[in-house]
Structure 1
Amino acid sequence: MNTSPQELTIRCGFEFAYDATAWTPAILTVQPRLDPWQRKVREQMTFLPSTSVYVYEDAHGNIVQRFSLPPGRTTIRHDVFIGVPTTTDDHWLIDQPVPVQDVPPQLLRYTLPSRYCDSDRLMTFANQQFGDYADGLPRVQAICDWVHNHIQYRWGSGSPYTTASEILAQGYGVCRDFAHLAVALSRCFNVPTRYVTGYVPDVACWDPGSPMDFHAYMQVYVGHRWYTFDARFNEPRRGRINIACGLDAVDGAFSTLFGPAFLSSFFVWAYQVDPAVVNLGDPIDMSKRLDGTPTLRFSAA
């Protein structure tokens, strides 16, 4: 994606602190994916105390960092400027369903049940509720509409054990639960669908006032390309930054620890800035944000 006057700059990142009682192997999946729709402008990442980090791409194309936490506290900070287009998620949305026999072999796994997206348990409900919709985007949108309207969002209700079918039964959850249920229902109709984590800043919409966090949504493979759908907000957004994708939240976890360590502090940011005014490493100063209102604003440059 080429830089243009219509490109927005999103500053996103986090600061985590981990406390370990012994050397603990760990992996992080927090760096934005290599994607033509998001251009990395500047980036800083620090580990305190410093540690050796091995970086690789996993089977889903996510950028993963592998390292070990020493005993005591380790603080990890990531700050990045990403250039994104002003267009919304539904830009160039073309409804061309891909028959399952034409799905590329490497994408067939995204049509199958997984640990949290237990689509095999939802087949009867899915066909009764959505079977009359046209294949492709109309059915996907109907699924997102239903999840958005029938599942209640409850902050703090998330559990690492709850599956999509259990969310359907209990009727509430957090963003990962909305995504898991929408993914599982879409897979019931052989639509390649992947779970996605990322940042969703409040570009051209009101700031709801809740603490910033990572977000979960989904992408469906239609017309031989991936399109984003978000059952939690259920409206096209601008400035979305994709971090990781996979079968479900197992592949999208921002950290995985293999020993006696725990997350002791957690701070996330994602907001639009003017790169001529704000620099990487500056304090997080929300008075300098360009988003948070319904008006789409641009940098002075």
Structure 2
Amino acid sequence: MEIRVGYQIEITTAQPVSCMTLLDPHPSRDGDMVSLPRPRVTSLADGSEVRVREYTDGFGNRCRRLLVPAGGVLFTSDLVVRDAGIPDQWDKQAPEILPDDLPSEVIEYMLSSRYCEVDEVSATAWNLFGSFAPGWNRVQQICNYVNAQIRFDYQFARNTRTAAQAMNERVGVCRDFTHLAIALCRAMNIPARYCNGFLGDIGVPPDPAPMDYNAWFEAYLGGKWYAFDARHNMPRIGRILVARGRDAADVPMIHTFGPHLLQRFEIVTEELAATRA
């Protein structure tokens, strides 16, 4: 199938502000591009195109840097990505790997991070999940718990909420589901990393709170990374990865080194009907 993804995001600033963004499909999806991506950044003051520099961060994500002029900018992109059109793939026999046997490059996904306080949820994690069969089953039990523990509500979004706070407050958005699941996995010595990207309501009934830009996580089992989604708690079709990191602090969609106001946020994620099998 082919999936159209894009965005129109507008921010305003009172003065020039340095900015970094992680908005576009991950380099691992470059081979799936049907149309070449050409994200644009235009000045709200005069409509001119703003110069953007691209780099790859320590997690392998595609990042862009720019100087937002006084008045602000409009970020736009519209492209088509080819996708296999199959749900997330799992191996229900995938085992956990003992910490001493893990590759060194995944160790950082076992540690506490800004939004995932492993030490604060460790006792709870072992009490809840210590008796479950290790491996895929344990990660799925964590997803079941988080899905039942947190009520999804856009009105209660808060960008400072941590995993432990989400567990106690029992409300949040997809990043809160993801942070809590990651923290619980890490507490059980299962490496877990934060992912975000485009995810439309493809192959599922219409949702009154439709998805467009979503957070999920990957757990390292049996020597491979597998996608899990504590928010939806079911395999989904058409995830278009944008970025991975330890938690949301590593992969902000837009981060300015100074104040800005978000004025417009429109995301497109839709299957192109002409490609439907």
**Correspondence for 1:27 among 7, 12, 20:** 20
- Take 1:204 and 1:58, find their aligned partners in 2: how far apart are those partners? 33
**Correspondence for 2:33 among 33, 40, 51:** 40
Structure 2 counterpart of 1:239? 238
Structure 1 counterpart of 2:219? 220
1:244-283 Cα shifts (integer Å, max 9, x gaps):
1111110121010112322211101101015xx6xxxxxx
Structure 2 counterpart of 1:18? 11
Identity %: 31
1:215-249 Cα shifts (integer Å, max 9, x gaps):
11110111211110000000001111111111111
Normalised by the length of structure 2, the TM-score is 0.93
- Take 1:148 and 1:211, find their aligned partners in 2: how far apart are those partners? 17
Deviation of 1:82 (Å): 1.1
Deviation of 1:72 (Å): 1.3
Q: Tell me, which stretches of 5 or more residues in structure 2 are unaligned?
A: 43-47
Moved segments of 4+, more than 6 Å: none
Residue type of the alignment partner of 1:220: A
Deviation of 1:191 (Å): 0.9
Deviation of 1:110 (Å): 0.2
- Take 2:188 and 2:107, find their aligned partners in 1: how far apart are those partners? 13
Q: Secondary structure at the match of 1:72?
A: coil
Q: CA RMSD in A?
A: 1.7
- Take 1:72 and 1:57, find their aligned partners in 2: how far apart are those partners? 28
Q: Secondary structure at the match of 2:148?
A: helix
Moved more, 175-184 or 67-76: 67-76
Residues 271 and 143 (structure 1), Cα distance of their counterparts in 2 relative to 1, 3 Å cut:
same
Residues 224 and 38 (structure 1), Cα distance of their counterparts in 2 relative to 1, 3 Å cut:
farther
Deviation of 1:90 (Å): 2.3
Alignment of 1:1-301 (within 5 A): 8-35=1-28, 39-42=32-35, 43-48=37-42, 49-91=48-90, 94-210=93-209, 212-274=211-273, 297-298=276-277
1:51-108 Cα shifts (integer Å, max 9, x gaps):
1111111111111000010011311101121111122112556513222122221210
Residue type of the alignment partner of 1:45: P
CA contact (8 A) 1:212 1:269 kept: no
Residue type of the alignment partner of 2:247: D
Residue type of the alignment partner of 1:88: P
Q: Secondary structure at the match of 1:239?
A: coil
Residues 39 and 24 (structure 1), Cα distance of their counterparts in 2 relative to 1, 3 Å cut:
same
Q: Tell me, which stretches of 5 or more residues in structure 1 are unaligned?
A: 1-7, 278-289, 291-296
Q: Secondary structure at the match of 1:90?
A: coil
Q: Secondary structure at the match of 2:155?
A: coil
Deviation of 1:209 (Å): 3.5
Normalised by the length of structure 1, the TM-score is 0.85
Q: Secondary structure at the match of 1:147?
A: helix
Deviation of 1:44 (Å): 2.7
Quick check: which one's helix share is greater? 2
